[in-house]
Amino acid sequence: MVTQVNLRAYWRFLVVIRQFFPLIVAYTRDRRKYILFGGGRSVGTETQLERAEMLLETLLTLGPTFIKLGQLLSTRPDILPPEYVDVLSSLQDDVPPAPWDESQVVIEDELGPVDEAFDDFDRDPISGASLGQVYTAEYEGDPVAVKVRRPGIEALVEADLRVVRWSLPIVRRFIGQGRAFSLENLSDEFAKTIRQEMDYSREKRILQEIKANFADNERILIPEPIDDRSGPRVLTMEYLPGTKINDIETLDRKGIDRTELATTLQRVYLQMIVDDGVFHADPHPGNLAVTDGGKIIFYDFGMSGTVDSFIQDKIIDFYLAVANQDIDAILDTLIEMGTLSPSADRQVMGDVMELAIADARGEDIEQYRVQQIIEQVESTIYEFPLRLPRNLALILRVATVVEGVCVTLDPDFDFISVATDYLQEEGYYEETARQLIQEGGQQLQQTSRALFEVPPKLNRTLDRVENGNLSVNVRLEDENDVLDRLARRIVYGLFVAVGALSTAILYAFEGTSVLPAAVAAVLTLPPLFALYRSFRRKRGIRAKPQFTRQSMRDRRE
């Protein structure tokens, strides 16, 4: 039986295909210049940017679900080229508010009559987003902010999620194998993310958890949720007004130290990610404000993330490696986190990291910023067949957005210096030193044991060689299926040779009829065609240098 959601999904699928049709045609012509035949086309940076802008407009036209999809894709440099990531990073979750009578239905379904639930309620929203909008009200004499889920958004999102899932096979046809691998779980990941963001009960729990983690920090403010005026579709919380964090003129007029603000913001996010394991994942300036006393206010915890202890340890290792300019340690950490393929060329990747750090230093050798390093890593991630874990992608995005806000507050802000000071104060340098000492002791112990174990084992092995009892098992790695292709060519060649010989013999001895020879010739054609195709396939991996200093500078420009 076809449900209403499926009917809506079928209609939305047609709408989505129509909106994406110009891009589908363009990507098809990249593979076949004349759609059905012809060679491929090379696409320059300018064309990529034009297509990224077209994609941005398409996502905005398709509405809330696809706006959120664009925001998610802006955190996935392992799927999209850098030009697309840059354009989609500017995607703002800002849409016209829904009519009051529709929002009123949602509030009253959750809390009862509006005028009974609140002392006073302003019917004009102060902000509107794709999934919800915020109103101001008064409850028990105190000002509150009421976040209301957009009316009817659940059915639209569920239909669009089906469309996204149905569209993945089409998308895979236009991307490389490495990025197709990253797309496998994108649909489920996106569905989980957007459903979580629509669940205001979950947002309230996250808000309370992060608020408790910073209970002793007097430099930040997180609104207090009001339990008896909240539900899955309505979240009521303390109203905390402030100056937008990127309103530099107002901050200066109020005499607020912007460098201290930037330092506080960076340290707060380091604590969330490195220590607490749960973090506010949408730190754009619209969700950050500053009180007249210089405290930072955090809004909107709908987009949040968690970090397990293993990733926390690896992030610490990464920060320490960058601070120490230890290229090998940086690469090892990226491999351990699952970001960099173990088979990647370490020399090439090392050159990338060295150039990124050198470019980021500027005139002062001690001044270099993590955002510039991340930009180079993002480009590298796109070029190599890698997979970026979701929460790690979210952390990557958070780090770049936070650093951007910090640099807006203080153009000379040193991200690495703040991170290094934080890690030192929290004792991570000492902990790392202790781990190195322990590992060194274990290695020394293993080496000492080997001094006693190796000679007897070597002696037994030499005895087996002398007696002719030594056997060696060899496993040949054939990731590119070279042996398989060679075997098929041999088989095809044998069939062609037998067919040609049979045709010649039949033609020579069947003087009265050429039909048997013709039949033999026809039967020989399929293996001949298969043999021809096996030699027409691309040989090896064609690559071009991607990481020269000039090309990296061109990308940043």
Catalytic residue positions, numbered: 282
**Strand, helix or coil for residue 446:** helix
Q: Which two tokens stand for residue 399?
A: 């780090």
Task: Report which secondary-structure segment, H or E, holds 205.
Answer: helix 200-213
CA distances from 551 to 47, 296, 324, 381, 394 (A): 17, 39, 26, 16, 27
Name 134's bridge partners.
127, 147
Q: In 3D, which of 248, 63, 256, 268 has the Cα closest to residue 152?
A: 63
62: which residues sit within 8 A by CB, 6+ positions away?
15, 16, 19, 160
Residues 325 and 245: their CA atoms lie apart, in Å, by 32
Q: Are 125 and 97 in contact (CB under 8 A)?
A: yes
Amino acid making up residue 82: P
Distances from the Cα of 59 to the Cα of 72, 149, 490, angstroms: 12, 20, 51
Q: How many helices (H) and strands (E) does the chain have?
A: 22, 11
C-beta of residue 400 within 8 angstroms of C-beta of residue 374: yes
**Residues with Cβ within 8 Å of residue 467, at least 6 apart in sequence:** none
* Residue 199 near residue 231 (C-beta atoms within 8 A): no
Question: Is residue 448 packed enough to be buried (19+ CB in 10 Å), middle (13-18) or exposed (0-12)?
Answer: exposed
Rounded CA-CA distance 149/425 in Å is: 42
As a whole number of angstroms, the distance between CA 269 and CA 287 comes to: 14
205 CA to centre of own chain: 25
CB neighbour list of residue 173: distance below 8 Å, 6 or more residues apart? none
CA dist 409 and 1 (Å) reads 57
Residue 279 and residue 397 in contact, taking contact as beta carbons nearer than 8 Å: no
Q: Where does 468-528 show beta strands of DSSP type E?
A: none
